[in-house]
Chains A and B, each alone.
Chain A
Amino acid sequence: MAEKVLMKGNEALAEAALRAGCRYFFGYPITPQTELAAYMAKRMPKVGGIYLQAESEVAAINMVYGASAAGARVMTSSSSPGVSLKGEGISYMIGADLPAVIINVQRGGPGLGGIQPSQADYWMATRAPGHGDGHVVVFAPSTVQEMSDLVASAFDLGDKYRVPVMILADGMLGQMMEPVALPEPTDVQSLPEKAWATNGHGGKRPHNIVNSLYLVAQQLEDTVVERSLRYSRIKEEEQIAEAYLTEDAEIVLVAYGAAARISRSAVAKAREMGIKAGLIRPITLWPFPVNTIDTIVPVAKAFLTVELSMGQMVEDVRLAVNGRRPVSFFGHTGGIIPTPDEVLTAIQRVASGEQLDLVPYQSKLTGGAR
């Protein structure tokens, strides 16, 4: 294995992208992801690529559209409000079947919100990254190592299915340093050819057209249906989740990213107290790992979703559990990082038969301090 180095999550995302063959980066600065763009600005010219700080997020995502249409491995990154701005371009890329990697290092919202870590963009990422009938694949790393590991997978998956892929991180993962073993560089020449790319042909083949406009309704439906069938394949084949101590778990936590790190500590503490707790950590948020939830339902007595939001992924957990078990929720907003002890208290209450939800329980849980 490669020697481990100490890197920020934002830097690991950038270096892993370069090693995955990304040679085009277009972005616009925003806290807490700016180190990613800064790293790209420094390194990209040295590997013969293009780094460009666009005049806005809207411009950046349209540059990504262009580079992807020409067949390049291309990335953009931003944080929550900036990703909202990219929404139109993301929808166009979905409609034009263009792969790219889009990073969202989430901060608190809505609006300008705050700059501290948050997971409040789950709905935007998994439900409506832009208008129209479409999805992006969403990966959710929870360590700096995973920030690095998931980048190449994101590029490969995007190319395989011709879909944009989002890596949904947060300010904590972006800013923190951990040891990371970086991947070996991809041989760019060995990547599969993109026969659809508009990269010039000297009259040797018919024109390729990259477009998302279909004025004939039947043509539009044909493309949307074909894409939706691809989504079905993605849902069948690409779910990823990690299960921790779930074999005999009665109280099953579901958490991703930074919230999963805290939940894991809380589960370990609960086990020490004799509570059979476990954790499912979705690594793909879309497709949501319903299969993993399904296998764990028969053993579980109750589920507890933990998020740095007011409860978004909990809806997917409830859909997957489908009424078979109670699903509780515990969360805080951007910048308020729950302690493992707070999550442990929530586990104890769920274990004692309570069903927790946002409004009635949060004031109780914190002793009504606010």
Chain B
Amino acid sequence: MVDHVKMPLNIMLAGFGGQGILFAGKLIAYAGMIDGHEISWLPSYGPEMRGGTANCSVSISDEAIGSPLVTEPDVFIAMNLPSYERFIDTVRPGGVVIVDETMVGACTLRSDVDYHPIPATEIAENSGLKGLANVLLVGKMLAVTGFSTEATLSVAIEKSVSAKRLDLVELNRKAIALGADIPDSDACRA
């Protein structure tokens, strides 16, 4: 946990369509808004999305946000290998990289970033949280960056989950808490 979150915090999330990339970004954006920051959320909506990959830019800032397009992320969450490969070189040196090890693999790391692989998809499936690997990764981001609080994310979940699926609220909360507790995988440590 870091003591002080640098603002603005620019976040890139990327993965396959259907993994909940846009939803994960929305949770982070909502949390930032509830915490009183300026925020923006911009999805990919172009041919990439139609080809099966989705990505999402989220900015949290204490000043008016200019371009909502994140080109040099402070935090990068990757949920598949093509997305990882596409964006890893854009991460700011010293930036935080959180990957779903189940989908990306653990070992392709850049030496100048703060790297956190967790087997999110596998753990989600083994914990009765199938389909919530995305939210596990948001929980991990919370633990690594301290960008918000679990209480705030709990409210963000209420606001983001469809009113018809209130049963999902508790599962999402559980996924945040679980993700925050998953230690970095050491599968790739030398």
**Are A and B genuine complex partners?**
yes
Q: Which residues of A contact B (CB under 8 A)?
A: 4, 6, 31-32, 114-116, 171-172, 175-179, 258, 261-266, 268, 335, 337, 339-340
Q: Cα distance A175–B42 when bound, in Å?
A: 6
B138 nearest CB across to chain A (Å): 15
Q: Cα distance A171–B68 when bound, in Å?
A: 12
Known: A115-B45, A115-B47. 20 other contacts (CB 8 A): A6-B29, A6-B30, A6-B159, A31-B45, A114-B46, A115-B46, A176-B41, A177-B26, A177-B40, A177-B42, A178-B39, A178-B40, A178-B68, A179-B33, A179-B38, A261-B67, A261-B68, A264-B64, A265-B67, A337-B69
Residue on A nearest B41 in the bound complex, by CB: A177
Proximity bits, B40-67, A CB within 8 Å = 1, else 0: 1111011100000000000000001111
The answer to whether B185 has its CB under 8 Å from any CB of chain A is no
Q: Pick the most buried of A6, A264, A268: most chain B CB atoms within 10 A of its CB.
A: A6
| Docked-complex contact B33 and A171, CB < 8 angstroms | no
- Measured between beta carbons, the chain B residues less than 8 angstroms from A114 are 46
A74 nearest CB across to chain B (Å): 27
- Measured between beta carbons, the chain B residues less than 8 angstroms from A171 are 45
| Docked-complex contact A177 and B29, CB < 8 angstroms | yes
Contact among B38, B41, B43, B47 for A6, CB-based, below 8 A: B41
Residue on A nearest B44 in the bound complex, by CB: A175
- Measured between beta carbons, the chain A residues less than 8 angstroms from B40 are 176-178
| Docked-complex contact B46 and A261, CB < 8 angstroms | no
B156 nearest CB across to chain A (Å): 9
| Docked-complex contact A172 and B69, CB < 8 angstroms | yes
Q: Pick the most buried of A115, A177, A258, A335: most chain B CB atoms within 10 A of its CB.
A: A177
Contact among B26, B39, B47, B66 for A261, CB-based, below 8 A: B66
B59 nearest CB across to chain A (Å): 10
- Measured between beta carbons, the chain B residues less than 8 angstroms from A337 are 67, 69
Q: Cα distance A32–B46 when bound, in Å?
A: 9
- Measured between beta carbons, the chain A residues less than 8 angstroms from B64 are 264
